[in-house]
Structure 1
């Protein structure tokens, strides 16, 4: 069939087939490349989004650093009020000194077991004192002004007949608190 065509016709048919073959291969390759290009453009968009988010966070970095500094200051304040250790010796010395200043006779000082509560632990101390009523009030007033949180509960007051000048015998539980940095604090919003 190609024999009947003149030479230039045969060349045109050959060129047409060659163009069709090259075009088909090129189009097939181009189709694969188009898919890859679309995939890469999608990845580029995701990366650009991540970069934008990173830049936005970077712009807020000084704000976060200020917030961290404020939180560290608050943590320092909390650790003063809620120390990280029981400090039984220090607390005993302070209570003994405060009792002496308030004219109390400290009869017993019995530290209890730490009880975990959220991010802190309660440290109860059973105490018995002999004093005058006014001196006990002065002692409790001074306890309320201490830099650490100390709750006094289960206060029982009875008449004292054993010592002259000491009119009452009191027993109570003084509960102080210890910061427990191991427990996570749940965020509430």
Structure 2
């Protein structure tokens, strides 16, 4: 069967011969056909593509916002860790290690001598262990003047280590000097192997 092709002029002539109502109807159908073709072959695919792109952009914006939030939190945590490390290092300076204790106690004794105090007794007592540190009590008996004692206490308070005077008893001697019986404590940081391990929980 042969296909019949009508020239444009013939089609236009046929349309011109139609009544006005039919010509309007043909024009309307032609416009609708072109609009339908435009919608299905051009507008609808582009519209779907635009919706896909908008969804992708929204997802990427959400992902970017989440990553920025994590980055800000990570930076904040890093700053907090750095600050905690600095504070821990500062605390460690106040708590000498075991090898520094003899030198610290010797310094305390030397300060007493420098201020003219006579050292009658300098006796470190057994350590008291805690979870992370040890308390080192010391018994110290001195003889001297009141102002010498004041200078001594002032200087040991500035040593940069924690030294706490627990008790002090003063006794006036016949030569108007003071005999001081003093108990003070210093502290040291426990090494890892010295710390008490927690007892396993009983089942």
TM normalised by structure 2 equals 0.55
Question: Counterparts of 2:177 and 2:129 in 1: how far apart (Å)?
Answer: 37
How far apart, CA to CA, are the structure 2 residues paired with 1:121 and 1:57?
Answer: 41
Match of 1:172 in 2: 182
Task: From 110, 116, 123, give the equivalent of 1:110.
Answer: 123
Greater Cα offset, 132-141 or 80-89: 80-89
C-alpha distance in 2, partners of 1:146/1:80? Answer: 11
How many pairs are equivalent? 130
Tell which structure's C-alpha radius of gyration is larger. Answer: 2
Instruction: Give yes or no for the alignment of 1:146 onto 2:159.
Output: yes
Consecutive unaligned residues in structure 2, runs of 5 or more:
1-65, 197-203
Report SS of the residue matched to 2:159: coil
Q: Deviations over 1:137-178 (max 9, x none)?
A: 1111212222111111221111234xx6x7011111110111
Partner of 2:75: 62
Higher relative contact order (CA 8 A, sep 6+): 1
Please give the secondary structure, in 2, of the residue aligned with 1:87: helix
Which of 147, 150, 158 is 1:137 aligned to?
Answer: 150
Q: Say which SS state the counterpart of residue 106 (structure 1) adopts.
A: strand
Q: Per the alignment, do residues 83 and 104 of structure 1 end up closer, same or farther by CA in structure 2, a change over 3 Å counting?
A: same
CA distance in 2, matches of 1:62, 1:172: 50
TM-score, normalized by length of structure 1? 0.59
Distance in 1 separating the partners of 2:142 and 2:123: 12
